[in-house]
Structure 1
């Protein structure tokens, strides 16, 4: 083995270990996602609670209210994040920090 190939292998070792950590992290997060979806499906489709009493199904107006709540929450989150990025790009964040340094 020559010095160049040994140097290349040593330089590539940290990159390979970083990719391994990334794949392990993605695998664990994927497992959590599958477990959350399975738990949600079982909870959504069960027709009785833990004591065996029959549960009432959600009405159409309940689904509409839930959908409107989700849409409003997402719109609020997107709007606030848009303002954060806009403020950062226009330099307003630096102006606020300049006032503190006085």
Structure 2
């Protein structure tokens, strides 16, 4: 079962890679202005979410929120 799943996923990965390669090889295909704006907004949001999640990770780790509970008897 694992081999079949792995082969299936590799086939999908190869198909996506071939599709992306064909898209990159189109001659004289300029990116419109709204495309550049959307890429910039997407990258900015990606960086903001990544930095926010990492800061929450470090905050919770330093404050001890990640520790298992200590039961006093």
State the TM-score bracket (shorter-chain normalisation): 0.5 to 0.7
Gaps of 5+ in 1: 1-47
Q: Distance in 1 between matches of 2:32 and 2:64?
A: 48
SS of the aligned residue for 2:69 comes to: helix
Indicate the RMSD between aligned Cα atoms, in angstroms. Answer: 1.9
Other-structure match for 1:31: none
* 1:93 counterpart SS class: coil
| Residue 55 (structure 1) shift | 3.6
- The 4+ residue runs of structure 1 with deviation greater than 2 A are none
State how 1:70-81 maps to structure 2 within 5 Å: 70-81=43-54
Q: Does residue 68 of the first structure (1) align with residue 41 of the second (2)?
A: yes
Shift of 1:54: 2.7
- Bigger relative contact order, structure 1 or 2 (CA pairs below 8 A, ≥6 apart): 2
Q: Which has the higher helix share?
A: 1
Shift of 1:60: 0.9
Structure 2 unaligned residues grouped into runs of 5+:
1-23
Residue 98 of structure 1: CA displacement?
2.8
Please tell me whether Structure 1 or Structure 2 has the larger radius of gyration of its CA atoms.
1
